[in-house]
A = this chain, B = another copy of it.
Amino acid sequence: MARDEQALSTAVEQSAAVLTAAGFPKMPARVLMALLVADEGGLTAAELGESLGVSAAAISGAVRYLRSLGIIHRMPHPGSRRERWEIFDDAWYTALAGKNSVYGTFAETAAQAIDAIGDPESAGARRTGEMVAFFRFIEGKMPELLTEWEALRAASASAPVE
């Protein structure tokens, strides 16, 4: 079965839209998905621009954003001047771990509200305390979850996809 560019483009756009709805910036989401489904060797900025129908400048901005998140990297160029961008294999893993720490900082910031409320018996303090505990719990569990994933992944190392 050959590459169905039409259907692929649709899938890329739809996936990017889901990411966008989840709060991810639009152009980075599209670039990310394009790189995800790309063949070995990554894509150049020009290729990305053409495939997504946007200017080189937009690509550059999106690429900078994604690099700052540490989920893509520039390929050690084969020899030509063309810079190739490639997604890290563990990008999603990393992204989730990063989001996890966001949960953590959120919990710690909110914990300050408990002190400000003063009375630990009050509804607000109780409610806030529960939320803080919840996110601390989630944050604490996440490493475990990721370890489990790694184990699973290693187990089915060269097994077929999907």
Q: Which residues in A have some Cβ–Cβ distance to B below 8 Å? A: 1-8, 10-12, 14-15, 18-19, 21-24, 33, 36-41, 87, 89, 91-93, 96, 99, 102, 105-106, 109-120, 122-135, 137-138, 141, 145, 148-149, 152-153, 160-162
- Chain B residue with the shortest CB-CB distance to A38: B124
Number of copies: 2
**What chain B residues lie within 8 Å of A134 (beta carbons)?**
92-93, 149
- Give 18 A-B contacts (CB < 8 Å), ordered by A residue: A1-B119, A6-B116, A11-B110, A14-B109, A15-B109, A21-B102, A22-B23, A22-B106, A38-B123, A38-B124, A89-B127, A96-B138, A111-B162, A114-B161, A120-B161, A126-B161, A133-B162, A141-B148
CB-CB nearest 3 A-B residue pairs: A23-B23, A129-B161, A8-B116
**What chain B residues lie within 8 Å of A18 (beta carbons)?**
102, 105-106, 109
Contact (Cβ within 8 A) A106 B162: no
A10 to B15, CA, bound (A): 37
Contact (Cβ within 8 A) A1 B118: yes
